[in-house]
């Protein structure tokens, strides 16, 4: 167990690619404020609450667990027609093992959306978020080579490592844009992009200037209403951070009446996972469950097991605005 923890910790601390990589979700389309601050308030009537949970890597090592929550809403000013504003709060906790390595974030996000035609079928949104990142580790739960006494690893021996802290806080700034267009009541398009960590926050336990690289995200989705019971929502997500790239694509199908819909979908994380998804939309509640089936070269160790992911989103409705928008469901 000690060796497993040590290997996990060292791979995260000293690997350039893994160290700079953000948390990720297969259900990126539900991790709204984490993906793009321009999504703040989009689809909130006037308030929305979201919860997400992810557990991955259990079949290989001590699992990574990620908890995420957000709340956002939107408001208008009477003098500004075709314009509204969004505000939200998002936070996450991501840790591996029994508190060995933990990443935390809390941020305020803001957005402004402008309609560029009479019925707001073409919308442009800009958003930014300002928050705090925290990375911490419990060195007491790790062992190092200097603690080898010739027979066993003795945790009572000094590790002689030049750590200057075991918890570091850094400010974090993110920016994003979003374009939405409704061709008609049955077909809508959404394209967005975001740059995370504009200020390249410092997150090193050593006395070195090691910083998080920019995370550039591009995402898009369409919504096709086939009839009164079937809606198809394909989407794509791409991110690049240092030498790490991620591509997810696929789609979900909503079937049922306006008050009760079943959800089924299939997604692919290119070169890594196939992600079947099921869910339920009941009035203003949306619950989804997905599972990453690992098909990469790592499958010999993972036995095709990846990570489970849960999301729950609740939207609070408000009476129709004078200038109705064409936002996604």
> What is the value of pTM for the model shown?
0.83
Summarize pLDDT for 155-191 with one digit per residue, the tens. 666 666 666 677 889 999 999 999 999 999 899 999 9
What span, in angstroms and rounded, lies between the C-alpha atoms of 100 and 161?
16
Summarize pLDDT for 57-112 with one digit per residue, the tens. 555 555 678 999 999 999 988 888 889 999 999 999 998 765 578 899 999 999 99
Q: Which of 12-21, 141-150, 270-279, 287-296 has the lowest average pLDDT?
A: 12-21
Phi first, then psi, for residue 236 (nearest 5°) are -145, 145
Token pair in block for residue 191: 């394209």
Closest CA to 20 of 271, 270, 215: 215
Query: Between 3.40.50.2000, 2.40.160.60, 2.60.40.10, 3.40.50.9100, what CATH number should domain 2-316 receive?
Result: 2.40.160.60
Kindly tell me the burial class for residue 82, based on how many C-beta atoms sit within 10 Å of its own C-beta (0-12, 13-18, 19 or more). Answer: middle
Dihedral angle sign, alpha carbons of residues 150, 154, 157, 161: positive
What span, in angstroms and rounded, lies between the C-alpha atoms of 34 and 269?
18
Are 101 and 128 a contacting pair, CB within 8 Å? no
pLDDT of residue 19: 44
What span, in angstroms and rounded, lies between the C-alpha atoms of 194 and 239?
9
């Amino acid at each position: 167990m000690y060796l497993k923890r040590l290997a996990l910790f060292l791979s995260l601390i000293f690997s350039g690619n893994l160290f700079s990589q953000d948390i990720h979700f297969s259900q990126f389309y539900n991790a709204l404020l984490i993906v793009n601050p321009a999504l703040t308030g989009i689809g909130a009537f006037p308030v929305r609450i979201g919860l997400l949970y992810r557990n991955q890597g259990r079949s290989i090592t001590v699992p990574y667990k990620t908890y995420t929550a957000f709340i956002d809403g939107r408001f208008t000013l009477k003098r500004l027609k075709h314009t509204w504003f969004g505000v939200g709060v998002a936070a996450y906790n991501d840790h591996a093992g029994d508190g060995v390595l933990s990443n935390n974030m809390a941020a305020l996000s803001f957005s402004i959306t402008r309609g560029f035609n009479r019925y707001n079928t073409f919308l442009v949104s800009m958003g930014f978020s300002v928050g705090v990142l925290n990375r911490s580790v419990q060195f007491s739960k790790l062992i190092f080579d200097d603690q080898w006494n010739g027979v066993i690893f003795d945790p009572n021996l000094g590790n002689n490592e030049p750590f200057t802290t075991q918890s570091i806080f850094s400010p974090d700034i993110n920016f994003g844009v979003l374009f939405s267009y409704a061709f008609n009541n049955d077909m809508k398009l959404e394209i967005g992009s975001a740059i995370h960590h504009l200020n390249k926050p410092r997150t090193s336990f050593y006395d070195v200037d090691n910083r998080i690289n920019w995370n550039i995200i591009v995402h898009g989705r369409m919504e096709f209403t086939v009839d009164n019971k079937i809606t198809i929502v394909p989407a794509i997500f791409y991110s690049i951070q240092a030498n790490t790239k991620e591509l997810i694509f696929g789609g979900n199908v909503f079937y049922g009446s306006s008050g009760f819909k079943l959800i089924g979908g299939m997604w692919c994380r290119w070169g890594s996972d196939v992600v079947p998804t099921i869910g339920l939309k009941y009035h203003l509640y949306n619950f989804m469950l997905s599972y990453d089936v690992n098909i990469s070269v790592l499958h010999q160790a993972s036995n095709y097991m990846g990570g489970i992911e849960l999301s729950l989103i609740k939207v609070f409705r408000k009476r129709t605005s004078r200038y109705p928008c064409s936002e996604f469901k």
